[in-house]
Amino acid sequence: MRRFFLSFSFIVWLCLPLASQVVINEFMALNATTLQDENGEYSDWVELYNAGDEPVNLYQWCLTDNLDKPSKFRFPDISLAPKSYLIVFLSDQEQSIAGKELHAAFKLSGSGEYLGLLDQDRVVVHEYAPTFPIQQTDISYGLFEGQASYLYEPTPGEENVLGNALLTPQFSEKGGYKNESFYLSLQVNDPTLQIRYSLDGRFPDKKHGIRYTEPILIDKNTVVCAVSQDIEIDTLYSNLVTQTYLFIQEIVTQADSLGSDYPMQWSYITDSTFYQADYGMDAQILQDYQEDLLEGFLSIPTLSIVTDPDNLFSHSDDPESGGIYIHTGKSRGNKGDGWERPASVEYYDPQREETFQINCGLRLHGGNSRNPSNSPKHSFRISFRSEYGASKLNFKIFDEKTATDRFDHLVLRAGYNFTWIKNGSPTLYPQNIIQRTNAQYIYDSFAKDVQLAMGQTATHSRFAHLFINGIYWGLYDICEKTNDDFAQAYMGGDDSEYDVIGDHNEIIDGAKDAYDLMYKTACNVGSNARDENYQKLTKDHLLDLDNYIDYMLINFYIGNRDWDNNNWRCAR
């Protein structure tokens, strides 16, 4: 096993008498899949270790991420036996009771901050100071052979090991909106590695990557993809890391022609006919609303998808290499896992400091909106799987207190019904013209918000600007995907226990037997509440009637026209 030994001169830990040698042995600031707390959450965690030969009573000892507030978490009256470990979860939920799982009411920053352990007299026993370095998802940090190191195989409650993954590059500047040009530095704290990067969305291997030797000038919208490469084994790379840098003034003047990677035709209509591409900003809108546009980019979050342009625009019809924005799938059968492409997604919110970058799978999402003659703007689904990196996204996207912060999938809705982009023949589909002229954009979100307000389960959503490889792609609605993972998040249990049925009675997850029984029973209900089949629906818990009534009321109230044979989900 190859080991990567990393030490940092700015991190100090104190050697104490053996009897009281308690250290912060290991911690994780970005816990996506490694260790669950008793609530089923993947909280940050800290591991203490007593390296001495005598037990140490931790009563009134403290953990903190700020020396100006040394008592952020106080230990209860517990003793740490020699050569033993203790886990404290950092979950924003204070629990300091002997005999129970310990929780501190603060979290660690993945971008690095102070972390210290203090005794009852507020003397620092062990610390990572002035800050620990930038952290990576599901990689812990702690002590190995007396030195602070990244630990690629986290071992909470056990002896630390290094593991054999490659450290990813660190960026000197976070992505997001910038006001002026700057030089970007990349670094990796391992002399056996070098950095390769690309600026076009492609994986920066030997064919497409540039070896990093000097800072990179960032003076326009730029996507930087970076990996670490083993100097001796040049086919061995780290996980991909991306950052997107955006300049608003350039966004609002985005051109129609963007170079050879971005074709002037999108999507098959027939084998020989394509739908015209649309990259540029509308000149009339820019003239009339430029000030509003400039303000609008900083008013809501931004998502940046980074991927090889061929993943979107290759004309190959091979499922493994065809462009998903060319072969849109509705009428050509180009759907499913085979048409999912590797990508990176970044999240920036001008209203808060927290961001994320995670590798994922990218595919198109939707039904009739996939048809290029209906809409040139398509919805996306992003999936978090171990083959790309972390198997879940652990991030608080939605503001509602009841919303989960762990996701297997997210849907980016482009908007189709009741948007100005709704196409179609005015003769064959006159209602489409009505939808264009009465575009509201909040139709779907309003319905879901009302369902939540009625105390029912519904998907959360929030609007965001979407960029693809630094190109503005428009306003999108970030939504949860309704499947067994969604059901588990809000109704408990295990995802394998759920049946999920959707459009046209299609099985989404699980089986259909219970749904068929419910449907058959409901169809035989008479007009009397004492009807045997009605009683069976309620007493045998075949249908949640209160939920069903609220659901029907919402759809009638909003005048839902694209329903009831499609655009629905149910679960049990």
Q: Where are the domains of the chain?
A: 18-151, 170-246, 255-481, 493-571
Q: What is the largest CA-CA distance in the chain?
A: 87
Torsion 135-138-143-144 (CA) sign: negative
Q: What angle do CA 365, 368, 373 make, to 5 degrees?
A: 110
Q: What's the token pair of residue 251?
A: 């966004």
Which pLDDT does position 273 carry in this prediction? Answer: 66
* CA 86 – CA 196 distance, rounded (Å): 40
Tell me the average pLDDT of the chain: 88
18-151 and 170-246 in the same fold: yes
Give the lowest-confidence range in 82-96, 140-154, 226-240, 393-407. 140-154
pLDDT grade, residue 231 (50/70/90)? Answer: very high
Bin 534: left if φ > 0, else alpha if -120 < ψ < 50, else beta: alpha
Which pLDDT does position 287 carry in this prediction? Answer: 86
Average pLDDT of the residues in 302-313? 97
* CA 449 – CA 216 distance, rounded (Å): 44
Domain spanning 170-246: which CATH class is it, in words?
A: mainly beta
Predicted structure pTM score: 0.77
Give the burial string for 209-237 (b: 16+ CB within 10 Å, else e): beebeeebebeebbbbbbbbbbeeeeeeb
* pLDDT over 70 (residue 300): yes
| CATH code 3.40.718.10 for 18-151 | no
Alpha-carbon distances of 52 from 17, 56, 365, rounded to whole Å: 8, 9, 57
pLDDT grade, residue 83 (50/70/90)? Answer: very high
Indicate the SS3 state at residue 368. helix
